Amino acid sequence: MEIMQFEKARQAALNADDPFKALDAFNQQAGEYGLNCDTFGDLLFGTSEKRLTACNTRDRAIREIVLRAVEKESAPALVFLFEPHKKSPEVYPESLGSDEATKLAEKLVEMAEKSPADSKDTALLMRAGAVLQSGYYIRQDSRRAAELYVRAWLAGDKYAAYKLAVVYRFLKDYRRAYFWEIRSRNLKNDSRSHLSGQEISDIQRLASDDSLSNF
């Protein structure tokens, strides 16, 4: 009975318009099957073969749901895919092959550039900006990355100011780098050594003007 409930939930998630958004429903509807692995008892006494099979089955199902969402070009799934740090499930673009990773990176950026850029789009804008700035999956384009970060900042993501400072330091545009360092309230990588006293004063004034999104 438990496995039938689990399988029904898996199929429902796979068939959803956006399988990634269906993950929460899957976890609620799939019951206890394959849950609570890696407990303290497992560490002490080992995991039974039956429980291990259930845990692996649930892990594979979640991975399958994420990959189906990527295949359907779900925006949140693409944001998750291009998250470079440790995550679960461990689904990364490299595992899909170079050509597919490039195609999906281009789709991610296209979605970001066409998005209305409100608060629900900040994760998309930030991830697409990071992909453009890294140049790892598609051709590096720091100007386009900066444009996306500015839109993310306007949509309410304060971390975008820090990312903009990084991009402009990379471009050796120290005036804009300092502008965004002020807005990020992070002067650890200070660009003032590249500026005159008058430039510093002018940029401080500009950075305090909330009507300016950039200059």
125 and 95 both lie in a single domain: yes
Say what the pLDDT of residue 41 is.
46
**pTM of the shown model:** 0.89
83 and 146 both lie in a single domain: yes
7-25 residue pLDDT tens: 999 999 999 999 999 999 9
111 and 96 both lie in a single domain: yes
77 and 136 both lie in a single domain: yes
Q: Which range of residues forms the domain containing residue 163? A: 159-215
Query: Model confidence at 47, in pLDDT bands (50, 70, 90)?
Result: low
Q: Which residues contact 103 (CB under 8 A, 6 or more apart)?
A: none
Q: What percent of the chain has pLDDT over 70?
A: 94
81 and 126 both lie in a single domain: yes
Domain count, the chain: 3
pLDDT reading at 38 higher than 80: no
- Which of residues 16, 44, 72 is at a domain's end? 72
- Which of residues 72, 91, 111 is at a domain's end? 72
Helices marked H in the chain: 2-14, 23-29, 40-45, 49-71, 75-81, 98-114, 122-134, 142-154, 159-170, 174-184, 197-207
86 and 148 both lie in a single domain: yes
78 and 153 both lie in a single domain: yes
124-173 residue pLDDT tens: 999 999 999 999 999 999 999 999 999 999 999 999 999 999 999 999 99
105 and 121 both lie in a single domain: yes
- Which of residues 38, 72, 106 is at a domain's end? 72
153 and 84 both lie in a single domain: yes
Say what the pLDDT of residue 45 is.
44
78 and 132 both lie in a single domain: yes
pLDDT reading at 33 higher than 80: yes
Mean pLDDT of 25-49: 70
24 and 65 both lie in a single domain: yes
Say what the pLDDT of residue 50 is.
78
Angle (CA) 138 142 77, round 5°: 50
Query: Model confidence at 43, in pLDDT bands (50, 70, 90)?
Result: very low
Residue with tokens 């003032």: 192
Mean of pLDDT over the chain:
92
Q: What percent of the chain has pLDDT over 90?
A: 79
Find the largest Cα–Cα distance for the chain. 74
116 and 91 both lie in a single domain: yes
What is the spatial distance between Cα 208 and Cα 199, in angstroms, rounded to a whole number?
14
102-136 residue pLDDT tens: 999 999 999 999 999 889 999 999 999 999 999 99
